[in-house]
Chains A and B, each alone.
Chain A
Amino acid sequence: DTAVSQTPKYLVTQMGNDKSIKCEQNLGHDTMYWYKQDSKKFLKIMFSYNNKELIINETVPNRFSPKSPDKAHLNLHINSLELGDSAVYFCASSYLFYEQYFGPGTRLTVT
């Protein structure tokens, strides 16, 4: 059974398009996260939700909008994609703050 799943795994799109990435966890965790990992492997938090409530909102362009329909799902919608948005986006969930379970990542390429 997959603990944290993301779709799609790969996303290739053109500048200016709008796209969404979906995340689901079946671990019963209350907290979910979105991270961005750039080409140099730097992993940075973007958003965090606890029981559907936004608790972390880092300095992220407002083209990025997370949505948590329930505590098992956290989606990420990106408007007007730019070249600099190309990265791997990871969803994660946790019960204990230090043990975060990461999904397999969504590799976004903006051309």
Chain B
Amino acid sequence: QKEVEQDPGPLSVPEGAIVSLNCTYSNSAFQYFMWYRQYSRKGPELLMYTYSSGNKEDGRFTAQVDKSSKYISLFIRDSQPSDSATYLCALKGTASKLTFGTGTRLQVTL
């Protein structure tokens, strides 16, 4: 079993839809949770960071963490074609490194 599981998609939604992207993890040592966005043929870029259970909102994006269930989510409201990208969750525990999920490819159609 991988440390971090993420549905690879692709996930196709119409413009304006609410998108839910999820990761599950097995290691309870993970304490820091990030979402990165990667456009095609580009490097990933940080979208959101949180370290506590609960919700964190930034514009149209909401990151949700449930440490008891080892489950993290990223919600995108009013999705736009420009949101079309691969979304990677990344987690960190006591080690110095980030452990990435395999990414979910999102396509927002007009």
Contact = CB atoms under 8 A, between A and B. Distances in A.
Interface of A: 4, 40-45, 48, 55-56, 58, 90, 92, 97-105
Contacts of B8: 40-41
Instruction: Tell me what chain A mostly uses at the interface: helix, strand, loop, or mixed.
Output: strand
Given A41-B8, A45-B98, A99 B43 contact: no
Contacts of A45: 97-98
A45 B88 CA distance: 14
A107 B43 CA distance: 12
A104 B98 contact: no
B43 A102 contact: yes
A32 to B, nearest CB: 13
Contact of A102 (B41, B45, B102, B103): B45
Contacts of B105: 41
A56 B98 CA distance: 11
Contacts of B32: 97-98
Contacts of A44: 100
B96 A43 contact: no
A92 B43 contact: yes
Contacts of A56: 96-97
A109 to B, nearest CB: 14
Contacts of B92: 97-98
Contacts of A4: 43
A48 B97 contact: yes
Interface in B37-64: 38, 41-46, 49
B42 A104 contact: yes
Nearest to A105: B43
